[in-house]
Amino acid sequence: MTGKSLIKLIFLSLCAGWLAGALGMGGGVIFNPLLMSLGHPPVVAAASGMFMMIFSAGVSATVYVINDMLNISYGIWISTIVIFGTIAGMIALDILMKKINR
């Protein structure tokens, strides 16, 4: 990556982050097309977007905990459901992929 393209990426990322925060949109709606327009493959753009969401979700949860606005028991309940749903979905997807030889 050249210095000019790195500066362009940093500038566009700052603008996209500001836009996502100002409009309350998920960063993936803005960052994925941005990365793909810069020539990154869709797989790389999607993985990068998911990696960025880890930090966004972590900071949001921390702010809610600090401001005592997070119902911890509700969060644990929802997290448990999501974990089991994810495991069930991955198992079902694995079975489907083996069935259609992909």
Task: Identify residue 86 by its one-letter amino acid code.
Answer: T
Is 46 within 8 Å of 29 (Cβ atoms)? no
Tell me how many domains the chain contains: 2
Task: Identify residue 6 by its one-letter amino acid code.
Answer: L
Residues 101 and 77 in one domain: yes
d(CA 83, CA 89): 10
Residues 51 and 77 in one domain: no
pLDDT digits (tens, 9 = 90+) for 78-93: 999 999 999 999 999 9
Residues 18 and 31 in one domain: yes
Give the predicted TM-score (pTM) of the model: 0.55
Domain limits for position 89: 71-102
Residues 75 and 60 in one domain: no
Residue 97 binned pLDDT confidence (cut-offs 50, 70, 90): very high
